[in-house]
Structure 1
Amino acid sequence: MAKLVAASAVAALTACSAAQPGLLKADGVPRDTVDRATYSAELNSLRDSALTLGEALLADGGDGANGNVVASPGSLLIALAMLRAGASGGTAAEMDAVLQLPVEHRDEAMNALLASLEKFDGDPGSVDEANPPRKPIMHPANGLFVDRGVTAGPAYLDTLARHYGTGVYPVDFSDEAATKPAIDAWVGKNTGGRIKESPAEYDRRNTFSVLNALYFAAAWNVPFDPNNTSDLLFTTAGGKEVTAPAMHNLLQMKYAEGRGWRGVDLPYAEGFVMRLVLPDERAGKGTGLSAETLTDIAGAMDTARLQMVRIQLPRWDHKCTFDLRKVFESLGMRKTLTTTEDFNAIQPKMAITQAAQAANITVAEKGTVAAAVTQINGMVTSAPPEPDRTIEFDRPFHYQVVHVETGLPLFMGTVADPR
């Protein structure tokens, strides 16, 4: 255990709940208290970063059916920020540039963001999803599973404890029968059972897994009357007209419009809104919006005034999973995916092996329930041994296919031109 966490990072080791038998959670370092107002500029940068990630996730599309996509840029941003806390060199510079992360006070700003979300924290398992609560539940959770046989950087663990409230779970990744159910139990507990398994395929060779879970449940400030829900025409991205249950309401909400779009902020009972953006018909098929446009929309909605709006909105219940390595590649995060040196602060010679997200959402007359889990895995790599000799077949050569036991050459030939 001493190899996993420095004495400064752990004041006590206590057994986890029965949902994760046999695991230990390090929870000795107190969470830093930060003033949100001090980091307003950094928080704006984090918002812009989330919008960039959102554009990339929607462009990727995951495994959504019929063009429907649900993703969590917020969850991905938090998980990447935890990974960035242990990055150095060219990988750190690449992550900062691609993700537009604050160069200074990044972890403090993320602490402030998480603290703001945690004002609405609650137990996902207590929610009656058929009747979302008037007081929203926004449950963020960060978890770190590390192989107990590999040294984890004490400074990295200290940062995650002080700014992310991240518990450390030492496990044996080679023991899939014990470790996979433990990680899945963490996922299920922190998503109210909406997501039952960690999104990345289990790999016994991994030595590191960082996870973020977000769970959201909230009633609308003014619910939709189910008696006013009726099947109406909906034109799909492919131009096909279908019928779908549509909800109706008339209420005050923020309304704004800009070049190529109109939008509203549909309020929940407290603390949150659902931002709904309708591209102009002349925008063509689909709803693709650039990160720049999304930022413009956010600015417009910040200053929009309340108006009485009649809204027609379909119900939906969607889910998606993403191979985030593809998303990272599309963003240009190639060094992040290939380095074996720049995550040494986490584990020596660690390389990213997997990254995945699962997300789902249910929107109906009473409110919204949604959950997401982002997982980034890594393993310790070893440098290849130095060769005793080098031989390069860069000119004509002879070959044989030999039966080892008898020495019989089954095939023999010469390569004079391999083209």
Structure 2
Amino acid sequence: MMPSTLTLCLLLAGLCSLVPSHLAEEAQASEDTGNYYSSSRKIAPYMTGFSIDLYKVLVSKSNTTNIFFSPVSIYTAFTLLSLGAKSATHDQILTGLGFNLTEISEEHISEGFQELLRTVNLPGSDLQLTISNGLFIDKNLNLVAKFLEESKRLYASDTFSTNFEDKEAAKKQINDYVEKQTQGKIVDLIKEVDPSTVFALVNCIYFKGKWEKPFEAELTEERPFHVDAKTTVPVQTMNRLGMFNVLYDENLSCWVVQMIYMGNVSAIFILPDTGKLEQVENALDKVLLYKWTNSLSRRAINLYFPKVSMSGNYDLKVLSELGITDVFGNNADLSGITEETKLKLSQAVHKAVLNIDEKGTEASGATAVEAIPMSIPPVIEFNRPFLLFIFERKTWGTLFAGKVMNPNGN
């Protein structure tokens, strides 16, 4: 007989390998795509709001370290989990993720994720972007048929029978899945499996983006990066003179630079003036972020951007600060997953990796030449802490978010 309370393990892995180069022309946000992306665009503002809320929680834990996480990975896993949650546990998950069920129905939430996953996992696109969900179920545990059906239909989940009595074998099975889904870039996501675990939900996101043109490697040089007023580190810094979508926010004293990937992904990099980082972080919300993206103008700049290598590792019990509490304790109601025994979420870990360099685009026989205005362009040098948000542009789902305090890692 199984113990009265068993545990569910929620594991999330995200790899973002950014290969910066020339900024491509931004597609119009209002491009005519009919109603195909209507539901996914309805959930996008909630995801952006959640991204900023979680960012601020993580900053409150430490304002001196790098922050990097995948909102869409966390969002996907917990909305999938909500399919099997009931009563207060269910309501806390959706409310903690920022959803207001008087404004958006659960049906639209599910449809939105269905569209989002279908969009990012399209084969043959100009970038590598995949999101996958794996359900690892104890071989002795029977799940509710409706939960299995909906997780497969809405989230394209893979299902695996797992022997959780053999903890080492279970750990290897889960880690092997993560390693495969992240193209071998994230290994050994979990170090151990909780002894009472009978069900693991794993979400992985893999993104490797290419720009239309790479930075010229011969222009990369070592330059100082000012971590804080007392600390400076040498960083390999790329350089490009070209046309970019940018703005300078006079009120908050920060530059906003947009970079576009081949395919349908764009990134917003926010560079506060020296001493203005906290001011920008305090003001940051989804309205401001959308205001920035809608106010960008194309102009020539001389951009210096550091090569970055860092990762973020998080215990997602931090979500209790956003109101998601019951699922982690004995009050958890996950009876929509299994009615055989009482489940709670004992482990919820998330790891995301960020790599930025000038490589990744095959050389071609043609050379594109940009017309640069005769006036001297401003120099924008990312040589101090900056923020970043990366979006899928058809659905406007937030793929990654974070802050670079030290490009070389913590």
Q: Same fold (TM over 0.5)?
A: yes
Partner of 1:275: 268
Q: Could you tell me how far 1:47 is from its partner in structure 2?
A: 3.1
Give the distance between the partners of 2:124 and 2:82, measured in 1 at CA: 25
- Deviation per CA, 1:73-126: give whole Å up to 9, x if none: 22111111111222221122222222112531211111111122112678xxxx
Partner of 2:154: 163
The structure number with the bigger radius of gyration is 1
Distance change in 2, residues 1:257/1:99 (3 Å): farther
Which of the residues 77, 83, 91 maps onto 1:85? 83
Which of the residues 294, 299, 314 maps onto 2:306? 314
Percent identity of the aligned residues? Answer: 22
Matches within 5 A, 1:290-305: 290=282, 292-293=284-285, 295-305=287-297
Whether 1:40 and 2:31 are equivalent positions in the alignment is no
Partner of 2:8: none
Distance change in 2, residues 1:288/1:79 (3 Å): farther
- Deviation per CA, 1:256-301: give whole Å up to 9, x if none: 33332321111222322232111232425x6972584354123321
Partner of 1:378: none
Give the distance between the partners of 2:280 and 2:142, measured in 1 at CA: 44
Q: Could you tell me how far 1:58 is from its partner in structure 2?
A: 4.8
Which of the residues 103, 109, 117 maps onto 1:114? 117
**8 Å Cα contact 2:120-2:129 kept in structure 1:** yes
Give the distance between the partners of 1:38 and 1:241, measured in 2 at CA: 46
Question: What amino acid is aligned across from residue 46 of structure 2 in structure 1?
Answer: S
Distance change in 2, residues 1:217/1:355 (3 Å): same
Which of the residues 167, 173, 179 maps onto 2:164? 173
Whether 1:208 and 2:211 are equivalent positions in the alignment is no
- Deviation per CA, 1:127-172: give whole Å up to 9, x if none: xxxxxxxx21002111111112122121111111111000111212
- Deviation per CA, 1:357-394: give whole Å up to 9, x if none: 111111011259x9x99xxxxxxxxxxxxxxxxxxxxx
Q: Could you tell me how far 1:228 is from its partner in structure 2?
A: 0.9
**8 Å Cα contact 1:121-1:139 kept in structure 2:** no
Q: Could you tell me how far 1:239 is from its partner in structure 2?
A: 3.2
Partner of 1:95: 93
**8 Å Cα contact 1:42-1:102 kept in structure 2:** no
**8 Å Cα contact 2:221-2:238 kept in structure 1:** yes
**8 Å Cα contact 1:222-1:251 kept in structure 2:** no
Q: Could you tell me how far 1:351 is from its partner in structure 2?
A: 0.6
Higher relative contact order (CA 8 A, sep 6+): 2
Distance change in 2, residues 1:319/1:38 (3 Å): closer
Distance change in 2, residues 1:61/1:278 (3 Å): same
Secondary structure, counterpart of 1:362 in structure 2: strand
Give the distance between the partners of 2:236 and 2:209, measured in 1 at CA: 21
Q: Could you tell me how far 1:345 is from its partner in structure 2?
A: 0.4
Distance change in 2, residues 1:238/1:339 (3 Å): farther
Partner of 1:366: 359
Question: What amino acid is aligned across from residue 316 of structure 1 in structure 2?
Answer: V
Q: Could you tell me how far 1:177 is from its partner in structure 2?
A: 3.5
**8 Å Cα contact 1:49-1:99 kept in structure 2:** yes
Partner of 1:407: none
Which of the residues 113, 124, 129 maps onto 1:138? 129
- Deviation per CA, 1:215-258: give whole Å up to 9, x if none: 11122223111111111122113532332211111222221333
Partner of 2:217: 226
Secondary structure, counterpart of 2:68 in structure 1: coil
Which of the residues 308, 323, 336 maps onto 2:315? 323
Partner of 1:289: 281
**8 Å Cα contact 2:219-2:239 kept in structure 1:** yes
Structure 1 runs, 4 residues or longer, greater than 6 Å off: none
Give the distance between the partners of 1:316 and 1:107, measured in 2 at CA: 35
Q: Could you tell me how far 1:46 is from its partner in structure 2?
A: 2.9
- Deviation per CA, 1:311-336: give whole Å up to 9, x if none: 111111112311111x2133232223
Aligned Cα RMSD in Å?
2.8
TM-score by length of 2: 0.71
Alignment coverage as a number of residue pairs: 321
Which of the residues 325, 335, 338 maps onto 2:326? 335
Question: What amino acid is aligned across from residue 308 of structure 1 in structure 2?
Answer: A
Give the distance between the partners of 1:353 and 1:291, measured in 2 at CA: 34
Partner of 2:14: none
Question: What amino acid is aligned across from residue 280 of structure 1 in structure 2?
Answer: D
Question: What amino acid is aligned across from residue 363 of structure 1 in structure 2?
Answer: I
TM-score by length of 1: 0.70
Distance change in 2, residues 1:91/1:291 (3 Å): farther
- Deviation per CA, 1:329-361: give whole Å up to 9, x if none: 332322232244521101231111011011111
Which of the residues 53, 68, 71 maps onto 1:70? 68
Partner of 2:245: 254
Secondary structure, counterpart of 1:343 in structure 2: coil
Which of the residues 346, 350, 371 maps onto 1:353? 346
- Deviation per CA, 1:28-74: give whole Å up to 9, x if none: xxxxxx93224532333233323333443454459xxx722322222
Secondary structure, counterpart of 1:149 in structure 2: coil
Secondary structure, counterpart of 1:289 in structure 2: helix
| Consecutive unaligned residues in structure 1, runs of 5 or more | 1-33, 123-134, 374-419
Give the distance between the partners of 1:163 and 1:200, measured in 2 at CA: 30
**8 Å Cα contact 1:221-1:270 kept in structure 2:** no
Secondary structure, counterpart of 1:47 in structure 2: helix
